[in-house]
Amino acid sequence: MDAATPQTAGSLSATVYEWLQSIVVAWVVCLLVFVFGVRQIGVDGRSMVPTLHHEDRIIVSNVLFEPSPGDIVVLTNKEFMTKPIVKRVIAVGGDTVDIDYDAGFVIINGTPIEEPYINERMSPRLSGVEFPLTVPEDYIFVMGDNRNNSSDGRVFGPVDKREVLGKVYVVAWPFANWKVVA
């Protein structure tokens, strides 16, 4: 009986060591994923209603991502915003954007775009940018889905793609709003 006790103790310590090693490795992997690949950000404001709502928590990633029209992105620019904002990409470098405020729609490269995601028809004329506007290469033009309650590209113009923190993939919180966005 005495011979079995040391072997059991050694086996137990090996098992505990393996568990601790697995936990540490999993923790490091999660840390690396969340630091370098995936971010969780809160929506502040109502500029993306009905797609996103104030205080939604969203999952964002910039891994292998190139902004394209229709993507919802998080961006930052220290010159005209104090914290990251969430907007929809409307046009990319080389595209010409025009806005028909009377009809309430956006025209890209001469063709009105269909936008089933907007909250309501755009009515106010925001100052700051003259249209038509050709988006420079390596820039994007963004707008909120709640056009009548959004400070967006109509105010601050095209945004450098380097200012995009990532694409929104999931609304994670609250659970009632949970959905895949991409």
Identify the CATH number of the domain in which residue 100 sits: 2.10.109.10
What is the structure's pLDDT at 139? Answer: 95
Prediction pTM value: 0.75
- Intervals of the chain under pLDDT 50: 1
| Residues 4 and 92 grouped into a single domain | no
Candidate list 47, 61, 150, 167, residue with the active-site label? 47
Q: Is residue 111 part of a domain?
A: yes
| Residues 29 and 70 grouped into a single domain | no
Q: Is residue 173 part of a domain?
A: no
Query: Which residue's structure tokens are 């969780």?
Result: 40
| Residues 30 and 90 grouped into a single domain | no
What is the structure's pLDDT at 109? Answer: 94
| Residues 79 and 147 grouped into a single domain | yes
| Residues 79 and 163 grouped into a single domain | yes
* Residue range(s) defining the domain that contains residue 96: 60-168
What is the structure's pLDDT at 94? Answer: 93
What is the structure's pLDDT at 84? Answer: 84
Q: Is residue 112 part of a domain?
A: yes
Q: Which of 124, 135, 66 is nearest to 98 (CA)?
A: 135
**Helical segments of the chain, H only:** 4-36, 153-156
What is the structure's pLDDT at 13? Answer: 80
Candidate list 87, 150, 161, 167, residue with the active-site label? 87
The verdict on whether 123 is a catalytic residue reads no
Total domains in the fold of the chain? 2
Q: Is residue 52 part of a domain?
A: no
Q: Which of 21, 2, 22, 181 is nearest to 88 (CA)?
A: 181
What is the structure's pLDDT at 32? Answer: 64
The verdict on whether 11 is a catalytic residue reads no
| Residues 85 and 119 grouped into a single domain | yes
